[in-house]
Chains A and B, each alone.
Chain A
Amino acid sequence: MKIRYVRIVYQLSFFLMFLWLVGITAMRVVDFFNVKLFLNSSVLIAIINIVSNHKIASGFILSFVILGLTLFLGRFFCGWICPMGAIMQFFSYIGQSKDARVRYNKNTFEERRRYKLCLLIVVLIAAFWGLVLTGYLDPLVLLTRFFTLIIFPFLGLLPIDLSSIGISLDKGLAFNIAIITSAIVIAAVLLNFYVPRFWCRYVCPLGGIFSLAAVNPLYKMVRDKEKCISCGRCREFCQGGCNIDKDAIYSECLMCMNCYSVCPVGAISYSPFPRRKRQVDIEARRQDISSEKREDAKVEYMGVALSRRDFIVSAFLGVTVVGALRDVKILDRGRAAIIRPPGSLDEDAFLSHCIRCGLCMRSCPTNVIQPIVSSNLELLLTPVLDFNKGFCEYECVNCSKVCPTAAITSITLEQKKAGKGKIGTAFVDKDRCIAWSMGRDCLVCQEVCPVSPKAIYIAENSFAGRGGDIKRLYAPVVDPSLCIGCGSCQYNCPVRDLPAIRVTSIGEVRSVSNRFFL
């Protein structure tokens, strides 16, 4: 059997595994399965978290194992495991040209591949200021969010039932600005029709890290110059575009092993190459000819060349992006007054921990966790609780279980009920409340309040009717010391457009400054 089909089976199964793990996150099975497995394998997230927080969740050891293996095996993650890579490869295959010459030319190595390293530098420099850009550039984060916000809500509209394999497709799941937050994935898919695996070759900063590790891996695709008949079929089907038919640039090799499968004379093998220094001629590479043909090969470098100018420009860009995205007026980021999921870190720490993967949104049973809509671009894609769309379920800590970087720290149900779950405080808007100012019985908010004793108690209200007659009835009053800000009252309030009882973040337990009681 051809190794290419083995690879496709691997890619497909890893892709389905990824899909399944994101899918089951909605159920209460997060205790049994590690749904963060794929996010934990991204070394980009790990490095960014180390840079911005000087610490990392223990699950990310996996990512360093993968990085270590890359030194020996090449970029096997990109070609065999990465679900984004699988999608890109699939669409590249669909979109490939029928003309062999066009295919050959499109798979030629270019110096522009260094752009992904430039983006890596931008991301890392921004991380020094606590700005996490994984939400735009990490493939696993992008894909997790794409499936959470678009694919699973869409599948929920179809008359299919996947509960037998643990995937619950809730009907009527909907997220704010889902298409915008997922636009990068859609753009990346479309760009495959322009250049195969455009994302992997030019953009992916995670691939950039792997390309640095795979400059000269122990095992690699080796071309036997004696056997080679220079037919060019290997480059024609190459996914990474690593110039395997000339002097291969192994940092660009995605280990797709198409060259191995298509070579008519068996000149290509996957074998350890003697680790001697090879001389690669950049000039020869630019002119796309084999260095054997040139006498004056000088440069001893086998990866993508990143010049000093590139480094300075991208470092500058990294600083600029911090200024561009961060709303500089909000110096104290805690004043943003956002209701975060229970167990979240204080706003400053939360923003530098949160990788914007959207797994908490997937895990939420009530659809209350939404991507934020804000003019402060740094907050974009982070989770916020929108109590007009749902409420925070009292007997549930799913989001804190699934958060891969502990931006939502892991809390137990007991801790949540013992006070760690206070995410805000409810306020009765007496002017809109039908019990306070319209003289009608209601008390729905008091009924649905989940804490015991209830944080909403009832007080007698004397309502003066139009004719001056006094009607006595009961109306709700919030006890802020008991209220946990779950939003059940706001969600169930019959005044539906702007509820008469609303939760704001004041009094949240995660913040030391966002308090109003002494």
Chain B
Amino acid sequence: MEREDSITRREFIKAFTEKIILSGGILGVASFFARRKVSSFDFSIKPFDFKTEAGAGSFLIVSSKDKRKLKELLGDAFDRIGGIGRFISPSDKVLIKVNCGFARPAWVGATTSPEVVRAMVELCSDAGAKDIFVFDNPINTPYLCYEISGIKEAIESTSARIIYPAPYLCRSIEVSRGVIGRFPIFEGVLKEADKLVNIPTAKVHNLSLVSLAMKNLYGFFGGSRSMFHQKIHQVIAELAWFIRPTVNLLDATRLLIRNGPTGGSRDDVRERGIVAISPDIVAIDSFGCELLGVRPENVDYIRRAEKSGLGKADFREFDRFVEIRR
């Protein structure tokens, strides 16, 4: 029985062919554009390189017992290598990476001293930085970390602001072709910045022996970074290749010599009042090792980083090696 809404065989074949040709055309055009996109794609990994020519080959050690004079001291130190203006140009957006991984009071020595952060923020702001933001992705609860460590209070009256780790800032990107591979990185923060100032604190660490400038870059990792402990030296070296700070300030005003990296007792801390400044991250770490009583040659990640050309471990050989004591 013939239904009224049925079509003839001829009509069916006609319509069918028409659709085949149409969809083929669409696919063809799409693949043409897709191919063009692919051919212009760059497969090489672009590191976040904030390094400038400023201060190359210089290493400064500042030591003082008086924390109130830190800003002048740091200012003086930067003047020896051409002034802070060579690192931070006006209208720069400066990202300050502190170590604020644990909700611990400053005297424990597990976090960067608020005084050093404040002094550096003021120097940057004097140099005319447009926007200064402090960042870390802590292990403990973020707002408690900033509040208890005193960093929040220290920068409250300055122009700097704190960026709390939020999921929208974090994205999985390719960090290296080695151990890390694709991993969540707080890319949103790094992309926003023009300059990166790395202010770690000097601590001992159970596995990497020391936790210094390169280990501090761990704070840009999101996700479940705890599994990186399995190959921690390689991971630190790869990360230091991927994120290259403009300048590093090692806060050794307090040294955490035991129970690192969390501390918790006054016996674990030594007051030294030292700040080391250098654009060379490897030199900073090898200096930190000596402060903590670890031979830099024994620290695997420093050797790996030096081998990949990130810097020189022997800081005493630097052209401009300056010590300022007050």
Chain A interfacial positions (CB closer than 8 Å to B): 27-28, 168, 171-172, 365-366, 393-396, 434, 440-444, 446-454, 458, 474, 492-494, 496
Contacts and interface: CB of A to CB of B under 8 A. Distances in A.
Given A452-B264, A452-B268, A441 B232 contact: yes
A454 B226 contact: no
B17 interface: no
A448 B139 contact: yes
B197 interface: no
Contacts of A454: 259, 262
A393 B144 contact: yes
A446 B260 CA distance: 9
Contacts of B105: 395
B188 to A, nearest CB: 14
Given A365-B143, A366-B140, A447-B262, 9 more contacts: A171-B166, A394-B140, A440-B230, A441-B229, A447-B207, A449-B262, A452-B264, A454-B259, A494-B229
Nearest to B233: A441
B167 interface: yes
B264 to A, nearest CB: 3
A94 to B, nearest CB: 35
A479 to B, nearest CB: 13
A338 B166 CA distance: 32
Interface string B187-207: 000000000000000000111
B262 A396 contact: no
Interface in B257-276: 258-259, 261-265, 268
Contact of A496 (B224, B258, B259, B262): B224
B161 to A, nearest CB: 12
Nearest to B268: A452
A441 B264 contact: no
Interface in B238-282: 258-259, 261-265, 268
Contact of B144 (A365, A440, A446, A449): A365
Contact of A441 (B143, B167, B231): B231
> SS class of chain A's interface: helix, strand, loop or mixed?
loop
A444 B229 contact: yes
Nearest to B211: A447
Contacts of A492: 139, 226
> SS class of chain B's interface: helix, strand, loop or mixed?
loop
Contacts of B100: none
A396 B229 contact: no
B27 interface: no
Contacts of A171: 166-167
Contacts of B206: 443, 446-447, 458, 474
Nearest to B108: A452
A10 B259 CA distance: 55
Given A365-B141, A452-B268, A443 B229 contact: yes
A13 B253 CA distance: 50
Contacts, number: 80
A494 B224 contact: yes
B102 interface: yes
Nearest to B104: A395
Contacts of A440: 230
Nearest to A28: B147
23 contacts: A27-B143, A168-B143, A393-B103, A393-B140, A395-B105, A395-B144, A396-B141, A447-B205, A451-B264, A452-B262, A452-B263, A452-B264, A452-B265, A453-B258, A453-B259, A453-B265, A458-B206, A474-B206, A492-B139, A493-B226, A494-B227, A494-B229, A494-B230
A443 B207 CA distance: 7
Contacts of B261: 447
A450 B262 contact: yes
A396 B148 CA distance: 10
A30 to B, nearest CB: 13
A458 B204 CA distance: 15
Nearest to B262: A450
B226 A494 contact: yes
Contacts of A447: 205-207, 229, 261-262
Contacts of B230: 434, 440-442, 494
B226 A450 contact: no
Which of B167, B229, B231, B264: most chain A CB closer than 10 A? Answer: B229
Contact of A395 (B103, B139, B166, B167): B103
Which of A393, A396, A441, A447: most chain B CB closer than 10 A? Answer: A447
A492 B138 CA distance: 12
Which of B167, B206, B230, B261: most chain A CB closer than 10 A? Answer: B206
A380 B234 CA distance: 47
In the A-B complex, list the 6 residue pairs whose CB atoms are closest, starting with the nearest. Answer: A452-B264, A494-B227, A452-B265, A365-B141, A444-B226, A440-B230
A442 B229 contact: yes
B259 A452 contact: yes
B202 to A, nearest CB: 16
Contacts of A168: 143
Contact of B167 (A172, A451, A453): A172
A3 B49 CA distance: 67
B183 to A, nearest CB: 13
Nearest to A492: B226
B260 to A, nearest CB: 8
Nearest to B149: A395
Contacts of A458: 206
Contacts of A172: 167
A168 B146 CA distance: 15
A168 B142 CA distance: 12
Contacts of A434: 230
Contacts of A493: 226
Contacts of B205: 447
A449 B265 CA distance: 13
Contacts of A443: 206-207, 229
B249 to A, nearest CB: 24
Contacts of B103: 393-396
A444 B206 CA distance: 9
Which of B148, B205, B207: most chain A CB closer than 10 A? Answer: B207
Interface in B121-147: 139-141, 143-144, 147
Contacts of B258: 453
A450 B102 contact: yes
Interface in B86-105: 102-105
Nearest to A458: B206
A168 B231 CA distance: 37
Contacts of A393: 103, 140-141, 144
A493 B207 CA distance: 15
A225 to B, nearest CB: 63
Contacts of B143: 27, 168, 365
Nearest to A493: B226
